[in-house]
Amino acid sequence: MRVRTKTFLFIIGGIAIIAASVGLVLFALRNNVSLYFTPTQVFNKEAPQGRNFRIGGLVEVGSLTREKDGLTSHFIITDMMKTMPVTYKGILPDLFKEGKGVVAQGKLQSDNVFYAEEVLAKHDENYMPPEAKDALDKAARAQSALNAASGIPPTDTTAKKIGY
């Protein structure tokens, strides 16, 4: 065998071995690499018990309430299957909105409320000017009104788009 062919095979073999080992490492880490758990995963007890973790999903529409002190807020994180009530004392990020993505870090207490120490807003990969967004929202409202009139239950299109 020529030296060049040998080197080539050696490199190809090396890459294959490394790719396989990286694949195995990633497979072993597949849950730990994710930044957050969904409420469904928490419900299925896949999230760590008794220590800090992150939970992510959408802020349920109409769930945000603030206490008198102006800092403590309560809201519900949903992945459209399960929900998780969250309490957070601190300033919420600017992009924090009902119906939008959120990632909260904290601890699940025995009262089944998630006490967050940090709340991060998650935005999607769609970019458009406000007029285009208004037009889309209007179309979505018209569609849901149409559905309501004909008896079809409303669907949350934003949740599907973001992929929760």
Partner 1 sequence: MTIHWFKYAAPTTFYGLAGKLIPFFAWPSAILFVAGIYFGFFVAPTDAVQSEAYRIMFIHVPVSILSMFIYLIMAGYAALGLIFKTRLSSMMASALAPTGAIFAFIALWSGALWGKPMWGAWWVWDARLTSELILLFLYLGFIALQASIDDPRRADRAGALLAIVGSVNVPIIYFSVKWWNTLHQGSTIKFSDTSMHVAMKQALFLMMAACWLYTIAITLVRVRSIILERERNTQWVSELEEVRS
The contact set with partner 1 (CB under 8 A) reads 4, 7-8, 11, 14-15, 18-19, 22, 26, 30, 33-38, 56, 93-95, 103, 118-130, 132-134, 163
Amino acid at 163: G
Which CB sits closer to partner 1, 30 or 68?
30
Contact 90, 119 (CB under 8 A): yes
Region of 50 (left: φ > 0; alpha: ψ -120 to 50; beta: rest) is left
Which CB sits closer to partner 1, 33 or 149?
33
Give me the least distance between CB of 151 and partner 1, in Å please.
32
Give me the least distance between CB of 85 and partner 1, in Å please.
20
Which CB sits closer to partner 1, 18 or 81?
18
Which CB sits closer to partner 1, 56 or 106?
56
In which residue are the tokens 């945000």 written? 64
The residues that bridge with 57 in the sheet, in sequence order, are 102
Cα separation, 78 vs 97, whole angstroms = 13
- Residue 64 burial (CB count, 10 A): 16
Residues constituting the chain: 164
Give me the least distance between CB of 25 and partner 1, in Å please.
10
